Amino acid sequence: KKAATISELEKFYSGMAEALHVGADFRTALDLVAPSAETPYFRGVLAALYEQKATSASIAALMRQFPAAFTNVAVSMVEQGETSGRLEAVFDKLATSTKNRMMIIGEIKSGLYYPGFIGCLLLIALIVVNFVVLPMITKNFKLFHTELPPVTKAMFDLLNFLSTHPWVAFFPPVVQAWAFLRRRWLAKQPLTQK
């Protein structure tokens, strides 16, 4: 995965702020925050920052080379911090904003547990109703020699089709998974925009 996680970015920014606050230079600060890197990609980014700092004077220019790790906003803030000489304050502010973003994402994820649980229960209820309750109802109709209502008959025809062609049942989840994976591309299409 060629992207930094939010937690390791938060640790990086807060570690850099602390190290620069006590007077460490950029390469020493990188030495101190390197163990907090969680992914191989971000470890590589930190190693590249460390190596290239010897040839580049600007930290923002170094960070701009890794857009998957550092956003344009973060790079611009670091650039302003270098100009004003308040780089540790900028890293501190970046750490705070990243921590807030991490908390918001955590709350969104925890907020999705309940709808997911309800969705699973609904799926189980649909399976029970369609494959247990409805067949019992049809037996009662047959027992009284009565025709099923057209909607119920259509439902049973669909269930019979699904039981003889089970691969069709997997088509909607596969389409949903594809749409989720390609959501950025789908969102850019003119038809989706409309």
* pLDDT tens-digit map of 17-36: 999 888 888 889 988 999 98
Instruction: Measure Cα distances from 72 to 39, 75, 161 in Å.
Output: 21, 5, 53
Cα dist. 192→34, 57, 125, 186, 189 in Å? 42, 45, 32, 6, 5
Residues of the chain above pLDDT 70, percent: 99
The pLDDT confidence band at residue 5, using thresholds 50, 70 and 90, is: confident
Q: pLDDT tens for residues 33-64? A: 999 888 899 999 999 998 988 887 788 899 98
With 0.75 as the threshold, say if the pTM is over it.
no
The rounded distance, in Å, linking the Cα atoms of 114 and 169 is: 25
Residue 40 burial (CB < 10 Å; 0-12/13-18/19+)? exposed
